[in-house]
Structure 1
Amino acid sequence: MYTGLQHLHSGLAYLVLLALIVIVIYALLGSLSNKEFLEKDRKIALIGFILSHIQLTVGLILYFVSPLGFEMLKSGSAMSDPATRLMAVEHPLINIIAIVVISIGYIKAKKGSIPRSRFRSIYMMYAIGLLLLLSRIPWSVWLG
């Protein structure tokens, strides 16, 4: 189960990052071209919203079954080693914040009335969320 969750979390991460990049560019172009914000635009943003929440759910499950997550935090050794601190504290905390930021962007766009501001909410908040996600990816594990 643990290995399957790891693979799912890693594989889904590629999909989430790709979706967020495409959505940020799409929303930026929509804003710059003064395009009308249509239902399909909301649904495109919804794809990134849903994928990021699925990734968060899988990550939280993995966090509690992994020896690199909550167990390291409970043992007290997580803060002394930078790699362990990244996995046990920084990665989950910053990624939760990133998903909250993405959620705020989606909700603001969904409730907005001015098309340009709806696109702006998506591209700005999704871009901030994307940068936060990229900042806490354990690159040595991911690429190694």
Structure 2
Amino acid sequence: MYDSVLGLHSYWAYATLGLLLIATLNAFGGLSSKRVFTPKDRQISMIALIFSHIQLLLGFVLYFVSPYFETAKQAGMGAVMKDSTLRLYLVEHPLINIIAIALITIGWSKHKKTEDNQAKFKKIGYMYAIALVLLLSRIPWSAWFN
């Protein structure tokens, strides 16, 4: 089960990051061109939101079926914090990614509460961009490209 969920989590991450990048660029493009926020803009942002939430759910499943989780249960959190690999997979990656998904959700929620087109683009653009940077900062790159 672990390998299946890991593979799905990894491949879904490519789609999620791509869609977040598209949604962010779309928002900043709309902001710079001062265009009207259209249903297409809403749809792009919503698809990125949905993909990121599915990625989070896959991450939760992966976290609890991971051999790293079993190691943490046996060794304790003190040992996890001393080992950089365990700390990345069990603390840093999940925590930062939960924060990033929360920012995406906040950006989406705030855009719905405003009527101004530029404010909609701004709220989505900045929150999605910060989330994208956070997500990229905690990807275990060495394991991802193997």
Answer whether TM exceeds 0.5 for this pair. Answer: yes
Q: What is the letter of the counterpart of residue 142 of structure 1?
A: W
| Runs (5+) with no aligned partner, structure 1 | none
Q: What is the letter of the counterpart of residue 73 of structure 1?
A: A
CA contact (8 A) 1:79 1:85 kept: yes
Equivalent residue, structure 1, for 2:21: 21
Structure 1 runs (4+) greater than 6 angstroms displaced: none
Deviation of 1:71 (Å): 2.8
| Runs (5+) with no aligned partner, structure 2 | none
Could you tell me how far apart the structure 2 residues matched to 1:71 and 1:89 are? 14
Percent identical among aligned pairs is 51
Equivalent residue, structure 2, for 1:40: 40
Deviation of 1:72 (Å): 3.6
Equivalent residue, structure 1, for 2:139: 137
RMSD of the TM alignment (CA)?
Answer: 1.0
Equivalent residue, structure 1, for 2:80: 78
What TM-score do you get using the length of structure 1 for normalisation? 0.95
Matched, 1:103 2:105: yes
SS in 2 for 1:50: helix
Could you tell me how far apart the structure 1 residues matched to 2:3 and 2:65 are? 10
Of 106-115 and 84-93, deviating more is 106-115
Could you tell me how far apart the structure 2 residues matched to 1:57 and 1:32 are? 34
SS in 2 for 1:79: helix
Equivalent residue, structure 1, for 2:56: 56
More helix by share: 2
Aligned residue pairs: how many?
Answer: 143
Deviation of 1:103 (Å): 0.4
